[in-house]
Structure formats: C-alpha cells, structure tokens
Amino acid sequence: MFIEILITLAIAINMGFSMGFEPIVYNVISIVIVVYLAVSILYIIRLVKGPTIPDRVLALDALSYDLAVFMALLALLLRRPVIASGLIVLTLWIYAIDIYISKYIEAREMGE
Amino acid sequence: MNRLEALFIFIGLTMIAIGAFFDIVSGIGVLKLPNFFTRIHAVTIGAVGGSVLPLIGVAVVSLAFKDLGIQRFYLAGVSIAGAIFILILAPTGSHSLARAAYMMCKAPRKPLVYDALESSRREAKCP
C-alpha cells in the first residue's frame, strides 16, 4: 500500500519534470472543488433546518469560510487571480454578522 | 530551481487535500451532532482545519506555479492575508455567539450532564 503510493508519487514527479506540473495541479483542484461543493450542500441543509437562530448563524459562518476557500481554488483553476479579491472582505463581513447577532441576542431584541 | 518548484507544488497540494478531508468531517458533524454547543466543535474544525490550511496551500502552490505569470504573487498574498484573518476572527465570533446563546437561554442543552456555570448566572433558571 505505502510502496504503491511512493511509486505513484515518483511517477507523478517524473511526469512533472518532463511535461510541466499543470495537469497534476488542475486534476487535484478539480476533485477538491467538487468536495467543497458537496460539503456546502450539507451546510445549506443545516442553515435551512436549524432549530434556533444561533444554529443558523453558525451554519452561515461555516458556509462562508467554505466560499472563501472556493474562491481561492477557482482563481487557481481558471488562471484569473482577480477572482480571489473578495476573500478578505467576505471574512470581515462574516465576523461583523457574528458580533451583530450576538449583541442583539444579549440585548433581548432578537429571537423568539 | 525546478526541483524546488516540484517540492512547493506537492507540499501545497497535500495541504489542500488534507483541508478537504477536514471539511468533509466538519460537514458531517454540523449535520449530525445533536446540540448547538456541540456543533460549535464541528464548525471550528471547518474553520481552522478546513479553511486556513487550504488557503496556505493555495499560497504555496501559487508561489511556484509559473502558469499564472507575475500575478501569482498577488494570489499568494491574498491567500495568506485571508488565512490569517480567518485564524483570528473565526474563534472570536464563535465564542461571542456561544456566550450569547448560553447566557440568554436561546439554545437547548439537552444531553448536558453537569452544568457548573449555571450557579454563577444571576438570572432565573432556564426552562
């Protein structure tokens, strides 16, 4: 098992030296992007179904952190680095939503 | 130089793959765990293991990836900055949300065995 992985890795490195690393990078990132899309569907199920308001906000947090990684991977896959520009702004807005919701819950103005 | 690029690209792709594994674990945990206070564990796995690690992996890959041209340094910088922001801000937001939900009794604590913080609350007991 381990030796087979090592042999596969050696073959991949030799292929990379002979014909460039682009096919390896693009294949791996295509698979990982599908994984991130599937996990986003799980988060959306919890976001719609969540019994209380903190559950929904928590699912929204996880969904947007996934979206940030998705934007970076998409910029690497499509060879357009400008796509990743909105990543920092998205993170800061999600932190603002956290603080906003928790402040209004503690002031008894939201929920129930 | 070529060998160094190969090392960078494989380290970065390994980090991205490990981050995808952590993200699958986090998705299953958010969907299946019974309680709000237990779901916070799963979301922390998804934030630190599933977002910070792949962003640093994207930065390491794009530093050695000649196909992007000179703009690859831009992608690396944005990824590192986003990773540091998520590493600082995600636990802070989760902590404030958990404190609000505990103090105002907005989430049920059903499978809880022993609650040591309950005696220090000044208000009435939660239903």
ipTM over 0.95: no
Q: Which residues in chain A are closer than 8 Å to B98, comparing Cβ atoms?
A: 54
Over residues B44-78, the pLDDT tens digits come to 989 999 999 999 999 999 998 888 889 899 999 99
Band of pLDDT at residue A33, cut at 50, 70 and 90: very high
Residue B16 covered by a domain: yes
Tell me how close the Cα of B60 comes to any Cα of chain A, in angstroms: 12
Residue ranges in chain B assigned as alpha helix (H): 2-32, 36-44, 53-63, 72-103
Over residues A54-102, the pLDDT tens digits come to 999 999 999 999 999 999 999 999 999 999 999 999 999 999 999 999 9
CB contact under 8 A, B5 and A21: yes
pLDDT at A18 exceeding the cut of 90: no
- pLDDT value, residue A63: 93
Higher-confidence residue of B127 and B17: namely: B17
Give the CA count within 13 Å in the CB-facing half-sphere of A112.
11
Q: Which residues in chain A are closer than 8 Å to B43, comparing Cβ atoms?
A: 58-59, 61-62
Asked whether the beta carbons of A77 and B75 are under 8 A apart, the reply is no
Asked whether the beta carbons of A68 and B51 are under 8 A apart, the reply is yes
Residue of B7, B18, B85, B103 to mutate for A, most A C-beta atoms under 10 A: B85
Range of the domain at B94: 2-120
Residue B21 covered by a domain: yes
Band of pLDDT at residue B105, cut at 50, 70 and 90: confident
Cα A81-A85-A86 angle, rounded to 5 deg = 140
Total domains present in chain B: 1
Q: Which of A64, A37, A38 lies closest to B93 in space, CA to CA?
A: A64
Q: Which pTM was predicted?
A: 0.86
Asked whether the beta carbons of A105 and B101 are under 8 A apart, the reply is yes
Residue B38 covered by a domain: yes
Residue B19 covered by a domain: yes
Q: Which of B63, B92, B93, B89 lies closest to B75 in space, CA to CA?
A: B63
Band of pLDDT at residue B113, cut at 50, 70 and 90: confident
